[in-house]
Amino acid sequence: MTVSVRVCASTSNLGAGFDCIGVAVERRLRVLARVGPASGTTPMIERLGTLAGLAVSASEDFVVRGFAAACEYAHASVPRGLVMQATSDIPIARGLGSSAAAIVAGALVARALLELPLDDLALLGIATSLEGHPDNVAPALYGGATLAFRTVHGGWHVAPLIVHPALRFVFAVPDFPVGTDEARAALPAQVSHDDARRAAAASAALVAGLARADATLLSAGLEGRLHVPYRKSFVRGYDAVVAAACQAGAAGATLSGSGSSVVAVATDQSTRAVADAMAQAWRTLGVHTATFTCIPSRSGYRCDVTTLPGGDPFAMELEHTMQSSPEERYS
């Protein structure tokens, strides 16, 4: 048996949607897995694509940790002889949910390979326990734009959000990373009541602006008062890139996740101008930048289980390529 899982990237926060709002992005992490001859207790994982340069042990790998966490939750054991290959086109440490995608992929592989009795909401809780927040995990599982939060009873709830069909998300991905731990450590332990009040209004503006394609609401909602002012210093040229996006016609722009990428929200007619303007703003500072534009990915993940007679199904499956990516331009 071979399990093949594809999980999407995501952008989170979108300014005022701090730690609770995320949008599925059509970049994919793919994991192929099988249980082979039991040669050891530690899973084997091969990393390709953007994951190739990761210098972490198998036990520290987010895919393996997601697999192990799902097994622990279901009171199952990680099988001996577990072999996985992970390939990704999601940039690492750029605010596009690469760790959430890896954790979710590992948990999905465990569920399929071991037939664990876990639904997607259970996987949300499992992955969030490792990721820390549900904003990237929810779109990786459910697709689209999502609001995810813990209920008063301690469980999790995911609500789909409406994104007006005229809107596009324009990403500028610089050639430098921002570490998630570093970005989280920069946040203050407390904020003023005035900041909290303004943030609550902005989060409502964000949700309404996405649904209505209202530029005024989106401009207010993308501000990100609770986190952006404390994190933007890690992103060289942030203010210039955001200003360039808005001058080119975007309703607003903000950090994607905790950065370093910047995401702008614009209508279809202005996306190319917005992407070029953000790239040019970074180019002026000597920063190499990749840009791409997308609408929310409808699916968060896809899981296929294959059993083929004769030959090696794992090797045969490796011949498949990842799903095509949207247009990408480098500046």
| Three-state secondary structure string covering the chain | CEEEEEEEEEEEECCCEEEEEEEEEEEEEEEEEEECCCCCCCCEEEEEECCCCCCCCHHHCHHHHHHHHHHHHCCCCCCCCEEEEEEECCCCCCCCCHHHHHHHHHHHHHHHHHCCCCCHHHHHHHHHHHHCCCCCHHHHHHCCEEEEEECCCCCEEEEEECCCCCEEEEEEEECCCCCHHHHHHCCCCCCCHHHHHHHHHHHHHHHHHHHHCCHHHHHHHCCCCCCHHHHHHHCCCHHHHHHHHHHCCCCEEEECCCCCCEEEEEEHHHHHHHHHHHHHHHHHCCCCEEEEEECCCCCCEEEEEECCCCCCHHHHHHCCCCCCCCCEEEC
What is the per-residue pLDDT for 330? Answer: 30
What is the per-residue pLDDT for 39? Answer: 64
As annotated, the residues of the chain forming the CATH 3.30.70.890 domain(s) are: 167-294
Assess whether pLDDT exceeds 60 at residue 324: no
Assess whether pLDDT exceeds 50 at residue 329: no
CA dist., res. 256 & res. 308, Å (int): 41
Given a contact cutoff of 8 angstroms between Cβ atoms, the answer to whether 244 and 281 are in contact is yes
Which CATH superfamily does the domain covering 167-294 fall into? GHMP kinase, C-terminal domain (3.30.70.890)
Please give the CATH architecture assigned to the domain spanning 2-161+296-330.
Answer: 2-Layer Sandwich (3.30)
**What is the pTM assigned to this prediction?**
0.90
Assess whether pLDDT exceeds 70 at residue 21: yes
Given a contact cutoff of 8 angstroms between Cβ atoms, the answer to whether 112 and 74 are in contact is no
Collect all residues with Cβ–Cβ distance below 8 Å to 313 and sequence separation of at least 6. 1, 2, 34, 306, 307
Assess whether pLDDT exceeds 80 at residue 308: no
Average pLDDT over residues 258-265: 96
pLDDT in tens, 28-37: 999 999 988 7
**Confidence label for 2 from pLDDT (cuts 50, 70 and 90):** very high
Residue 321 burial (CB count, 10 A): 8
Given a contact cutoff of 8 angstroms between Cβ atoms, the answer to whether 22 and 139 are in contact is yes
What is the per-residue pLDDT for 322? Answer: 35
**Confidence label for 41 from pLDDT (cuts 50, 70 and 90):** confident
pLDDT in tens, 113-172: 999 999 999 999 999 999 999 999 999 999 999 999 999 988 999 999 999 999 999 999
Mean residue pLDDT across the chain:
91
As annotated, the residues of the chain forming the CATH 3.30.230.10 domain(s) are: 2-161+296-330
Assess whether pLDDT exceeds 60 at residue 292: yes
